[in-house]
């Protein structure tokens, strides 16, 4: 049983909604990215998504695009991302999922990537722009190294492709609640529950729902129909705002504790700046929250 499967099994047994967090490896730099991952784990994030910085992140909104730019400027890459995971793995108990566009994986070679990722302590991989029709060999190569292949499903995914993703996927399925690019929102998309119901008709595999989630109320709402909520852009925005602060890791930890229902000393982050809020509202919804 994989670490991801074990985690979702425990969440179901305890009747809890999981929290999946996304950060970009190397943002704002590699040493502090390591501290952020450890802070997320301390705060109780159930799955850590580690994004590989990429020069053309077309599915992402401006917040995560800028995170990729900062990470690349600080030396981020696929190999650096795997080295980062290897460095923190002894201190992190949560499953770690690598998020990447497929180009860096193909450039390294899928077999070489799978071996290096497994050695680093990665648990699952989502290649967000890999068509499911072309994913069988990819999935088999990852499975041979003990890695879960996670598939992305959107409101426009056909029933046939949902069924194929359910049959081929391992760990969990990732539902995105609206179309467009990534970005935080004031409300969870109205079609989110309907998407989860469509996926549930094909599988009992856990479902994590992302896009626009940024508050405990959003997490609780998603928990009414999905197994986990994914928080990405709101967290990445907080990292950007606190990037020059010595309290960066502490603020990340406070934010995640707040998302999970609050605790003594936990507080909400400052709201997105006007420019970020406006640019986010122009997007629609892709792989990360």
Dump the DSSP string for 73-127: HTT--HHHHHHHHHHHGGG--S-EEEEE-HHHHHHH-HHHHHHHHHHHT--EEEE
Whole-model pTM?
0.89
Residues acting as catalytic residues? 49, 60
Architecture of domain 3-279 in this structure = Alpha-Beta Barrel (3.20)
Instruction: Per-residue pLDDT tens, the chain, 289 aa: give them.
Output: 799 999 999 999 999 999 999 999 999 999 999 999 999 999 999 999 999 999 988 878 899 999 999 999 999 999 999 999 999 999 999 999 999 999 999 999 999 999 999 999 999 999 999 999 999 999 999 999 999 999 999 999 999 999 999 999 999 999 986 544 444 444 455 678 999 999 999 999 999 999 888 899 999 999 999 999 999 999 999 999 999 999 999 999 999 999 998 543 344 554 343 334 333 333 333 445 5
Alpha carbons within 13 A on the beta-carbon side of 64: 35
């Amino acid at each position: 049983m994989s670490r991801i499967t074990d985690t979702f099994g425990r969440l179901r047994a305890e009747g809890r909604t999981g929290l999946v967090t996304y950060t970009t490896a190397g943002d704002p730099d590699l040493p502090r990215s390591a501290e952020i991952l450890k802070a997320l784990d301390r705060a109780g994030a159930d799955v850590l998504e580690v994004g590989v910085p990429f020069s053309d992140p077309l599915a992402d909104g401006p917040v995560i695009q800028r995170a990729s730019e900062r990470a690349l400027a600080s030396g981020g890459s696929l190999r650096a991302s795997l080295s980062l995971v290897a460095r923190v793995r002894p201190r992190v108990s949560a499953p770690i999922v690598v998020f990447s566009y497929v180009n860096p994986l193909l450039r390294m070679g899928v077999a070489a990537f799978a071996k290096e990722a497994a050695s680093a302590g990665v648990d699952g991989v989502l290649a967000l722009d890999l068509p499911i029709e072309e994913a069988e060999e990819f999935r088999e190569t990852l499975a041979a190294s003990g890695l879960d292949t996670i598939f992305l499903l959107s409101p426009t995914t056909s029933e046939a492709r949902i069924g194929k993703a359910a049959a081929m996927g391992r760990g969990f399925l990732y539902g995105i609640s609206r179309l467009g690019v990534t970005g935080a929102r004031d409300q969870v998309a109205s079609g989110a529950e309907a998407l989860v119901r469509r996926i549930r008709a094909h599988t009992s595999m856990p479902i994590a729902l992302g896009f626009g989630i940024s508050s405990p109320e959003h997490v609780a709402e998603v928990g009414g129909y999905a197994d986990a909520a994914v928080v990405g852009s709101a967290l990445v925005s907080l990292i950007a705002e606190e990037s020059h602060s010595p309290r960066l890791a502490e603020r990340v930890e406070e934010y995640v504790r707040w998302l999970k229902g609050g605790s003594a000393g936990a507080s909400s982050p400052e709201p997105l700046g006007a420019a970020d809020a406006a640019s986010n509202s122009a997007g629609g919804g892709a792989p990360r929250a």
